[in-house]
Amino acid sequence: MWKLADTLLPSRLLLGTAKYPSLHMMKEAIIASDANIITVSLKRQSPREKGGEDFWNYIKSLNCHLLPNTAGCHHAEDAITTAEMAREIFNTHWIKLEVIGDDYNLQPDPFELVKAAKELIQRGFEVFPYCTDDLVLCQRLVDSGCRILMPWGSPIGSGKGLMNPYALETLRTRLPDITLIVDAGIGKPSHATQAMELGFDGVLLNTAVSLAKDPIQMAAAFSHAVQAGRLAYEAGMMLERNCASPSTPLIDTPFWHQVERT
């Protein structure tokens, strides 16, 4: 179990609900993933709009925690308005805050993001900001009151994995008390494992599952990958060495002599 905001959860995998071949496939993939939190976009799939009712019924049947997002917003004011609508419709104060600054790589606008985060926190939201791995930006968001950060591994939907592990590891070291969730760019289960091995608290992904040849099987693969990475981090991984070291001592060599050499 781990604590996200004020909620205890068994799974550290968060899953999106977009781009699945069918609603049935979406539901089965989410079940296979064991995810307890799923993201929904008000601008792209509103339960109040035509065609959204079936989607909403599937979502409710999953009995998962909802994390609405402000996808598609480019300004703080737009994101704040969308967040207020999401709170009313989905009955949650959680919001994944997205304020996009560039339409080519969907990189967050750091200035508008901080502005929106400050205002939403004052309005009682638990803000999950989608941000880059820039330490200064992340610190500004924390100073604004964010308890959770969602830095990207790489641009949304790119599948490139962790482009800058050093920056992500730095965030983990410098912000030890902040919940960190890698969001965006995860393309393979091994990418999710790598993020968890760095000490991140969770992983959020969508495209790698929804566009897989078999979304259900891929969702299960990511579930195991996240668990494996977290277990490895908690167990304490061996340090890299510049020289070889035999794992089994020679019969005629006392084991304590081997320990001294290593």
| Percent of the chain at pLDDT exceeding 70 | 90
Please give the full DSSP string across 178-229, using - where no structure is assigned.
Answer: SEEEEES---SHHHHHHHHHTT-SEEEESHHHHTSSSHHHHHHHHHHHHHHH
CA atoms within 13 A on the CB side of 4: 24
Q: Which pair of structure tokens corresponds to residue 133?
A: 């791995």
- Whole-prediction pTM value? 0.88
Catalytic positions, written as ranges:
96
* C-alpha–C-alpha distance, residues 206 and 15, integer Å: 6
* C-alpha–C-alpha distance, residues 126 and 87, integer Å: 11
Confidence of residue 244 (pLDDT cuts 50, 70, 90): confident
- Strands 94-97, 126-131: pairing kind: parallel
DSSP-based three-state secondary structure for 138: helix
List C-alpha distances in Å: 191 to 1, 140, 149, 153, 232. 22, 27, 18, 9, 14
List C-alpha distances in Å: 26 to 17, 19, 23, 154, 190. 7, 9, 5, 24, 22
Q: CA angle at residue 111 from 109 to 116, to 5 degrees?
A: 90
- Strands 94-97, 202-205: pairing kind: unpaired
Question: Which pLDDT does position 256 carry in this prediction?
Answer: 57
Tens of pLDDT, residue by residue over 107-156, are: 999 999 999 999 999 999 999 999 999 999 999 999 999 999 999 999 98
Question: Which pLDDT does position 61 carry in this prediction?
Answer: 84
Alpha helices (runs of H) in the chain, residue ranges in sequence order: 23-33, 52-62, 76-90, 110-122, 135-143, 165-174, 189-197, 207-210, 215-235, 255-261
* C-alpha–C-alpha distance, residues 161 and 195, integer Å: 9
For residue 68, the surrounding DSSP H or E stretch is: strand 65-69
Confidence of residue 245 (pLDDT cuts 50, 70, 90): confident
* C-alpha–C-alpha distance, residues 58 and 20, integer Å: 13
Tens of pLDDT, residue by residue over 33-86, are: 999 999 998 765 555 555 567 788 888 888 899 999 999 899 999 999 999 999
Using the 8-state DSSP alphabet, how is residue 43 labeled? Answer: T
Whether the Cβ atoms of residue 155 and residue 107 lie closer than 8 Å to each other: yes
